[in-house]
Amino acid sequence: MNLDIPNKKRQLAKVKQVPNLYHIAMDAIDGTPIDFSLFKGKKILFVNVASKCGFTRQYKELQKLSQQYIDSLVVIGVPCNQFGKQEPGNADEIQSFCQTNYGVSFLITQKVDVKGVNQHPLYTFLTCESLNGKRDSSVKWNFQKYIVSESGSLINHYYSITSPLSNKITKHL
């Protein structure tokens, strides 16, 4: 028997009370609330990030993407420690690492779970077709990417091996 099913149903019920992506509550890495509705009219690229991963070098490409498409895209890094414990740091350590090593200026959120019983509502939305209107998915590893339209609906998701600068992503911008 899969014990995650009742928890998944509770997560879905909780998120279904939220009318769309723009009403999901989340904090930035410094603890300030993020108002996703401020990003209406721009695409959003959500990426679960980790500082001790083989894909960590993608921070550089994410920063470049963020700067190159500043008028039409918001890049949001979402730290997660669920894959190989590759994001063990606290908020200050994560923020310092990103800025010092990659010059990251795009938005970084609080550290959250992107799967499992404590999955953050943002990732429940991104991974559940009944909420995002597009498809079901699961987060397989660090640096998986979800791109959302200007109106807050899911466009697609891309696995870790897809470069942030790949045509698979930039064709939407």
Q: Is the pLDDT of residue 33 over 90?
A: yes
Average pLDDT over residues 83-107: 96
Q: Is the pLDDT of residue 59 over 80?
A: yes
Q: Is the pLDDT of residue 9 over 70?
A: no
Q: Which CATH number fits domain 4-170: 3.30.160.20, 3.50.50.60, 3.40.30.10, 3.40.50.150?
A: 3.40.30.10
pLDDT band at 31 (very low <50, low <70, confident <90, very high): very high
Length of the chain: 173
Instruction: Give the integer Cα–Cα distance in Å for 15 and 21.
Output: 9
Query: What's the DSSP call for residue 145?
Result: E
> In whole numbers, what is the pLDDT of the chain averaged over residues?
91
Angle at the Cα of 56 (from 33 to 167), degrees rounded to 5?
90
Percentage of the chain modeled with pLDDT above 90: 83
Q: Is the pLDDT of residue 11 over 80?
A: no
pLDDT band at 133 (very low <50, low <70, confident <90, very high): confident
Residue ranges covered by each domain of the chain: 4-170
Query: Measured in whole angstroms, how far is the alpha carbon of residue 152 from the centre of its chain?
Result: 13
Indicate whether this model's pTM tops 0.75.
yes
**For residues 48 and 59, is the Cβ–Cβ distance under 8 A?**
no
**134-157 pLDDT per residue, tens:** 899 999 999 999 999 999 999 999
**123-132 pLDDT per residue, tens:** 999 999 988 8
Instruction: Give the integer Cα–Cα distance in Å for 73 and 45.
Output: 7
53 is annotated as an active-site residue: yes
- E-strand spans in the chain? 26-27, 33-34, 43-49, 73-79, 107-108, 145-148, 154-158
- Considering the candidates 53, 80, 98, 128, report the single residue annotated as catalytic: 53
Average pLDDT over residues 98-114: 96
